[in-house]
Amino acid sequence: MWDSPVLKQVILGCYDPTSPLACLRGQHDVLALILKTVLAMWKAHVDKSNRGFMHCRNRKGSPFPAIRGRLPKPVQFPPPWFDDPMETFHVNMMPFIMGSLDSLPPSCHRYHDMILCCLQTNKSHERGKVGYLTIHESMVEAGTTQRRAGLHIEAGRGGGKQARVQVFQHHDFRWGGGYQVQHHLFGGIYMASTVGQSCGVYDAVVVNPETVAGPLGNVEHLRMVLDKDERISYMRPGANHLYWITDRTPHEALPAVTTQFRQYFRLVTSNVSHWFADHSTANPLGVQPTATIVVGNKFHHPQDEAMAPQMTCRET
């Protein structure tokens, strides 16, 4: 119970005389019914019948190239852009034409083979459409994360007031979508990293995220529900393993065990409804997002390390 930030606040509110929940103090039966109802609602939003995580390696002996298997698919990361490991290379959600090398700036050409590897496993005909590329190469200190910590889904609206107003006008928020039918992958998000055990993923899908997810797709309150269901696996992909998730798959960055250099790759396929301009990298070649462009800080704080409005590299 105390592991859930929402339920914890409900209990603490019962003992706070300034809280409206103080009227529930001593009303154990009523409080138990409320908590039971909340948990039942959260469980109803977790779909464990659909895959939220898939390895991208073909099944051994399968005549169909898009039939996914159980074994991880190893990928070859290119050398970092900078020779100095203390320098950071970072592009975030940069729009480009999937399958077209010419639509990538020179600094991103080295990831083209990984992009093609993703497209070969997808059945939604993504070639020729606008996709969104993230590359993050940096030193990560022990005990910290390179990417976003905390359990979340990508199909979550912005938390900042200005960006939130624009996005909340739309009921349908998509960030790659993604679904699988008989191990065939459609849309979704591909990720890989040079550091194993640096990301945790639940093999489940959040249903109707707009009614259960918090700001920026926060689903930390669902962790207790996910952990208690033995049918839901928690995956920690290994180094250089390419995997696929949906934009409604609960996942999180995990703290680095030791200080080390990490390369991170992500391809978000074309089904994106909103593109946060203040937090994304514009393509210097002029490729524009097909998603609705949202201007404004999507975070509560005016400054955030995850912001990457410009390409943080030097083209040579």
Predicted confidence band of residue 89 (pLDDT cuts 50, 70, 90): very high
Q: How far apart are the first and last CA of the chain?
A: 54
The confidence score (pLDDT) of residue 300 equals 52
Q: What is the DSSP letter of 25?
A: T
For residue 5, report the phi and psi dihedrals to the nearest 5 degrees.
-65, -30
- Sort 218 into a burial class: Cβ within 10 Å, 0-12 / 13-18 / 19+: middle
- Quick one: average pLDDT of 239-243? 96
Q: How far apart are CA 138 and CA 88, in angstroms?
A: 5
Domain extent listing, the chain = 1-47, 48-303
Q: How far apart are CA 191 and CA 67, in angstroms?
A: 18
Predicted confidence band of residue 306 (pLDDT cuts 50, 70, 90): very low
Q: How far apart are CA 282 and CA 266, in angstroms?
A: 16
CB 189 within 8 A of CB 115: no
- Quick one: average pLDDT of 159-186? 70
Q: Would strands 205-206 and 260-268 be described as parallel, antiparallel, or unpaired?
A: unpaired
The confidence score (pLDDT) of residue 11 equals 83
Q: How far apart are CA 2 and CA 282, in angstroms?
A: 42
Q: Tokens standing for 31? A: 């409080």
**Is residue 281 scored above 90 in pLDDT?**
yes
Region label for 177, one of left (φ > 0), alpha (ψ between -120 and 50) or beta (otherwise): left
pLDDT single digits (tens) 102-114: 999 999 999 999 9
CB 195 within 8 A of CB 139: no
Q: Which helix (H) or strand (E) holds 146?
A: none
Q: Which of 292, 23, 50 is nearest to 174 (CA)?
A: 292
Higher pLDDT, 19 or 5: 19
Predicted confidence band of residue 263 (pLDDT cuts 50, 70, 90): very high
**Is residue 243 scored above 70 in pLDDT?**
yes
Q: What is the mean pLDDT of the chain?
A: 86
The confidence score (pLDDT) of residue 310 equals 47
Supply angle C-alpha 44, 158, 307, rounded to 5.
Answer: 130
Q: Would strands 292-294 and 274-276 be described as parallel, antiparallel, or unpaired?
A: parallel
- Quick one: average pLDDT of 22-41? 85
pLDDT single digits (tens) 188-218: 999 999 999 999 999 999 999 988 888 889 9
Q: How far apart are CA 252 and CA 206, in angstroms?
A: 14
The confidence score (pLDDT) of residue 302 equals 40
For residue 28, report the phi and psi dihedrals to the nearest 5 degrees.
-60, -40
